Amino acid sequence: MDTPVIDFHAHLGNWARHAMRGDLERYVDIMDRAGIDKACVNCIFLGDARAANDVVAEFVARQPDRFIPVAFVTPHYPNETIPELERAFSQLGMKYLKIYPDYFRKPNDDPAYFPIYEWLNERGLAVMSHPSYPFDRPGTTVKGKFTALSERFPNVKWVLAHAGGSGNTETLEAARDLPNVYLETCGSTAPFGAIEKGVRIAGAGRMLFGTDMALLDARQALGKVVTADISHSDKRQILGLNAIELLGLDK
């Protein structure tokens, strides 16, 4: 099946605890073996967002035909956030924003993010984060959280990392019912029937193929979508067509 394959979720940097190595040659080798055309890469391991975004820009510059740069900012340094967003998107050509609330200890509906979301909202850009956290406010639901965020920031595209491959009904229903919520598919497990369930509930148009490379192996991640019991048309949407449309990439 000839179709564009775009990995929406890949990380740069080393994470020694998990034997993760962010070598460009390693990424390209695995992408070639798997059949992945391009990977959206972020760097979330540095407390200095400017330094992290420079890592991404330098990496992408070495092989711009295979990688798409993704921005990162941290709410811990609010005075730096908006200038860095301006730089990342205007000068470095970043295509969407990745935030990592798990390590910020602030859930993604914390007001600390609102200036960031407002900036994205004015430009109709996407942001990806995990959908929920152990430190969410009591009683928070994924749908409730993203309903409120979508109403306040209607032009932002919300990408829920891992949610497309989890089979979590509540999260899938949130994507079904909210116009700007998307579900990325990667994860360290391949729950039986999860991709099929995502297509059934949220629709293939809301799902984005991702790998978590180089933490996880891109081939297993691709295999989850490729071997799912869904139509070729659905696979093509998930594997790349949705990302092209969401990020405004050349076809």
Partner 1 sequence: MGNVDSDFKPSVPVLDSNMSLGRRHDKPVNVDSVEGVRSEMERAGIGRGLVYAPHAAIFDSGEGNRTLVETIRSSDKLLPQFVCNPSFDDLSEFAAHVDSEGVRSVRMFPGLHNYPFRPWVIGPWLDWLAETGIPVWLPVEFELIGPIPSTNPVDPRDIYDTLSQRPEIKAVLSEAKYGDSSWALPLVRSLPNLDFEVSRFVPGGGITSAVEAIGPERVLFGSRFPDSAISPQLFSLHHSDLSKDALQAICAGNAERLLGIG
The contact set with partner 1 (CB under 8 A) reads: 1-5, 17-21, 26, 30, 33-37, 188-194, 213-224, 226-229, 232, 235, 239-240
Nearest approach, Cβ of residue 123 and partner 1 (Å) = 29
Nearest approach, Cβ of residue 56 and partner 1 (Å) = 18
CB 190 within 8 A of CB 226: no
* Planar angle of CA 50, 56, 62, nearest 5 degrees: 135
Nearest approach, Cβ of residue 249 and partner 1 (Å) = 12
Q: How many C-alpha atoms does 54 have within 13 Å on its Cβ side?
A: 6
| Residue 149, token pair as written in the block | 């965020």
> What does each C-alpha distance from 122 to 46, 119, 125, 243 come to in angstroms?
27, 5, 8, 20
SS3 state of residue 102: helix
Nearest approach, Cβ of residue 4 and partner 1 (Å) = 5
Report the residue number, 81 or 211, with the smaller CB distance to partner 1. 211
Q: Which residue in the block uniquely carries the two structure tokens 């919300």?
A: 158
Report the residue number, 36 or 94, with the smaller CB distance to partner 1. 36
CB 187 within 8 A of CB 222: no
Nearest approach, Cβ of residue 207 and partner 1 (Å) = 15
Measured CA to CA, the distance from residue 204 to residue 198 in angstroms comes to: 7
Report the residue number, 22 or 101, with the smaller CB distance to partner 1. 22
Nearest approach, Cβ of residue 17 and partner 1 (Å) = 7
**Cα distance from N-terminal residue to C-terminal residue, the chain:** 16
Report the residue number, 174 or 194, with the smaller CB distance to partner 1. 194
Report the residue number, 70 or 218, with the smaller CB distance to partner 1. 218
Measured CA to CA, the distance from residue 120 to residue 122 in angstroms comes to: 5
Q: What is the largest CA-CA distance in the chain?
A: 48
Report the residue number, 110 or 196, with the smaller CB distance to partner 1. 196
Nearest approach, Cβ of residue 110 and partner 1 (Å) = 26
Report the residue number, 3 or 121, with the smaller CB distance to partner 1. 3
Provide the 8-state DSSP code for 90: I
Q: Which residue in the block uniquely carries the two structure tokens 């998307």?
A: 182
SS3 state of residue 122: helix
